[in-house]
């Protein structure tokens, strides 16, 4: 959010045609409320409208903007474009579908007995079915000094706009990003483009340690160093120093670095307060079954706020897949609940990076990796029963295109397996 997934330029996909049956009328469902207008919430609202044209649909969002490309908010730091250029859909477009969007509106409480959502304005919305798609929030680590001016988190468009405003209004030469995952690396690149001397600090021993193996991380770190981003691994921020604002950061390795602008990219926490206060079953996220139903059969949860065993959150395609499953389930329509491949992509000029699935061979999993690749290229596949179940692809632009399409297609690589075993990666384009 962290906001990671397939290339956003390909999203959203064209909408399917309206269903021939009004499933809302058939099921006797008249009023539906959706809380949250991100990828999952917007997909839910559109799918519900397609399947149930007679139902009234209210979409409540605390965001002040229509559904936008959160994966591209880094561009708001260094480009002169406005947030409008990131919109996937306008409020007028949703209104034309008879979806009542309420932006800048807080859903304060859910009254399950009366089946009502209480808004921050004091209004109430009655529902027959309710969808929680209120996402997650950036985690602000409990570091002394994190409350000082010049310290930020980065998840929403408003965060990016605040960071850009600080860069322009204050004297800034140096920046630090805490967290070497995908969002942290992308944030560091954005700060570099703002002409700041930027350092990435990663607690573990290597960058993107969840998605990449050792060689993949090494190639990425070498690339960042070459373009002017300093990387510190095996350390974290211990304290943010400065009288009136952030001036320095003391690290756990004992060093102190100058820092005029600090961004924590330390993960997210699902927004479970609304569900918990409503008495729904909650762990790290709102607990759901295979149909995305919560412990209340009339309430569904999708996207980053939902917790479903065995499924990775924080990915665009996972959230939209959950939304499609839940939208069908509310009308008792059977839909195969096959999760999409959790392919993680780094969106950065000059290098291609994608990671997916398992990183270990054995137990029927075959590994294919050319030991003689150039030092700046790393391609590693894991295949089980003809399917790609894991991949690490890092290299110059163009390195990952074919493997990304192969993974997303879900097709068997059995017909090209012998070519892959000879490291003929171009065979992936033939699927």
For residue 61, give the nearest of 347, 246, 303, 345 by alpha carbon: 303
Give, in degrees to the nearest 5, the angle at Cα 391 between 389 and 392: 160
CB count, 10 Å around CB of 55?
A: 22
Note whether 102 and 61 are within 8 A (CB): yes
Note whether 300 and 330 are within 8 A (CB): yes
pLDDT of amino acid 335: 77
Kindly state the tokens that stand for 242: 């400065």
Residue ranges of domains in the chain, CATH in brackets: 8-137+268-330 (3.50.50.60), 151-264 (3.50.50.60), 350-430 (3.30.390.30)
For residue 276, give the nearest of 268, 286, 266, 267 by alpha carbon: 286
Note whether 87 and 67 are within 8 A (CB): yes
Q: Which residues pair with 107 in a beta bridge?
A: 119
Q: What is the dihedral of CA 373, 378, 383, 388, to 10 degrees?
A: -130
Instruction: Give the C-alpha separation, 199 to 258, whole Å.
Output: 10
Under 8 Å CB-to-CB from 378, ≥6 apart: which residues? 213, 215, 216, 219, 369, 392, 393, 394, 395
Per-block average pLDDT, block size 10, for the chain (431 residues)? 38 57 94 97 96 97 92 88 88 93 97 98 98 96 97 95 95 97 95 97 95 95 98 98 97 97 95 98 96 97 90 76 94 76 87 89 93 95 93 92 85 95 93 82
Q: What is the dihedral of CA 112, 115, 121, 122, to 10 degrees?
A: -90
Note whether 369 and 354 are within 8 A (CB): no
Instruction: Give the C-alpha separation, 331 to 264, whole Å.
Output: 42
Instruction: Give the C-alpha separation, 50 to 330, whole Å.
Output: 13
pLDDT of amino acid 339: 64
User: Exposure string (b/e) for 404-430, b if CB count within 10 Å is 16 or more?
Assistant: bebbbeeeebeebeeebeebebebbee
- As a residue count, the chain comes to 431
pLDDT of amino acid 317: 80
pLDDT of amino acid 402: 87
Query: What are 232-255's pLDDT values in tens digits?
Result: 999 999 999 999 999 999 999 999
The 3-class SS string of the chain reads CCCECCCHHHCCCCCCCCCCCCHHHHHCCCEEEEECCCHHHHHHHHHHHHHCCCCEEEEECCCCCCCECHHHCCHHHHCCCCHHHHECCCHHHHHHCCEEEECCCCEEEEECCCCEEEECCCCEEECCEEEECCCEEECCCCCCCCCCCCEEECCCHHHHHHHHHHHHHCCCCEEEEECCCHHHHHHHHHHHHCCCEEEEEECCCCCCCCCCCHHHHHHHHHHHHHCCCEEEECCCEEEEECCCCCCEEEECCCCEEECCEEEECCCEEECCHHHHHCCCCECCCEECCCCCECCCCCEEECHHHEECCCCCCCEHHHHHHHHHHHHHHHCCCCCCCCCCCCCEEECCCCCEEEEEECCCCECCEEEEECCCCCCCCEEEEEEECCEEEEEEEEECCCCCHHHHHHHHHCCCCHHHHHHHHCCCHHHHHHC
CB count, 10 Å around CB of 191?
A: 27
pLDDT of amino acid 342: 75
Query: What are 301-337's pLDDT values in tens digits?
Result: 999 999 987 666 667 788 899 999 999 999 999 876 6
pLDDT of amino acid 407: 86
């Amino acid at each position: 959010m962290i906001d990671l997934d397939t290339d956003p330029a390909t999203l959203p996909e064209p909408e399917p045609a309206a269903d021939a049956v009004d499933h809302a009328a058939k099921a006797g469902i008249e009023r539906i409320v959706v809380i949250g207008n991100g990828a999952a919430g917007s997909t839910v609202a559109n799918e519900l409208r397609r399947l149930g044209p007679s139902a009234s649909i209210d979409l409540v969002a605390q965001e002040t903007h229509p559904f936008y490309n959160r994966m591209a908010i880094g561009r708001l730091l260094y480009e002169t474009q406005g947030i409008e250029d990131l919109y996937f859909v306008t409020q007028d477009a949703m209104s034309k579908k008879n979806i009542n969007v309420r932006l800048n509106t807080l859903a304060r409480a859910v009254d399950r007995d009366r089946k009502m959502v209480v808004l921050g304005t004091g209004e109430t919305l009655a529902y027959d079915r309710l969808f929680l798609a209120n996402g997650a929030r950036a985690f602000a680590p409990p570091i002394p000094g994190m409350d000082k001016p010049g310290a930020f988190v980065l998840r929403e468009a408003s965060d990016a706009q605040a960071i850009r405003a600080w860069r322009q209004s204050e004297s800034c030469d140096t920046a630090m990003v805490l967290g070497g995952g995908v969002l942290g690396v992308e944030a560091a690149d954005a700060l570099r483009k703002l002409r700041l001397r930027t350092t990435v600090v990663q607690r573990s021993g290597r960058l993107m340690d969840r998605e990449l193996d050792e060689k993949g991380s090494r190639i990425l770190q070498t690339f960042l160093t070459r373009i002017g981003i300093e990387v510190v691994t095996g350390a974290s921020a211990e304290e943010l120093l400065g009288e009136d604002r952030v001036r320095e950061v003391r690290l756990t390795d004992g060093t102190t670095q100058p820092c005029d602008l600090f961004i924590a990219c330390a993960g997210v926490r699902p927004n479970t307060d609304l569900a918990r206060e409503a008495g729904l079953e909650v762990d790290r996220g709102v607990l759901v079954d295979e149909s995305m139903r919560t412990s209340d059969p009339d309430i569904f949860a999708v996207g980053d706020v939902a917790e479903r065993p065995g499924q990775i959150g924080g990915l665009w395609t996972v959230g939209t897949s959950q939304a499609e499953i839940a939208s069908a389930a509310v009308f008792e329509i059977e839909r195969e609940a096959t999760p999409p491949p959790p392919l993680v992509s780094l969106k950065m000029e000059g290098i291609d990076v994608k990671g997916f699935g398992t990183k270990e061979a054995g137990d029927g999993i075959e590994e294919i990796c050319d030991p003689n690749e150039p030092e700046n290229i790393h391609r590693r596949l894991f295949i089980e029963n003809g399917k790609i179940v894991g991949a690490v692809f890092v290299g110059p632009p163009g390195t990952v295109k074919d493997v990304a399409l192969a993974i997303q297609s879900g097709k068997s690589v059995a017909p090209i397996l012998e070519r892959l075993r000879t490291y003929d990666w171009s065979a992936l384009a033939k699927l």
